[in-house]
Structure 1
Amino acid sequence: MMHKPVVDENERRARQEAHLLVREFGAEAPLYAAMKAEKAIEQKDFGRCARWKRVLEILADEPPADLRRSAAAK
């Protein structure tokens, strides 16, 4: 019996946001994630900024086409 890796809520939300951005904006998804991170910094919401930075990492690790495929499979 294989166990699924435990993913915390912040990671789950970051991955979900990455999928949504790719679905909506395609290749420009990282730009929108960066804008969201910048806005969070301006508002001094560093927790939200950390999540958006994680979204950027996810987008950098997985090309938009791969994210689209995995989002469509869900």
Structure 2
Amino acid sequence: MLDEDERRARQEAHWLVREFGAEAPLYAAMKAEKAIEQKDFGRCARWKRILEILSDSVHSKSTASKY
């Protein structure tokens, strides 16, 4: 079972892909960087998790397309 933070991160990642397509990881990285600049490390951690989800999604799709 997913906790609320994980559920929200996955939801945000899916929204970013729908909204920005291949540019979704770039958008998430920019948001994480802005959070660091503002010393909002909780928000930064959320954006980094979203980046991980996006990265995992890209890797699993590229692996699946090889077969």
Q: Which amino acid aligns with 1:20?
A: W
Sequence identity (%): 85
TM-score of the two chains, using structure 1 as the length reference: 0.76
Aligned position for 2:64? none
Aligned position for 1:26? 21
Aligned position for 1:48? 43
Unmatched runs of 5 consecutive residues or more in structure 2:
62-67
Superposed displacement of residue 62, structure 1: 0.5
Unmatched runs of 5 consecutive residues or more in structure 1:
1-5, 67-74
Consecutive aligned runs of 4 or more in structure 1 exceeding 2 Å deviation: none
Q: Following the alignment from structure 2 to structure 1, what is the Cα–Cα distance between the partners of residues 22 and 52?
A: 14
Other structure's SS at 2:2 match: coil
RMSD, matched Cα? 1.0
Greater helix proportion:
2
Count of aligned pairs between the two proteins = 59
Q: Following the alignment from structure 1 to structure 2, what is the Cα–Cα distance between the partners of residues 45 and 9?
A: 19
TM-score of the two chains, using structure 2 as the length reference: 0.83
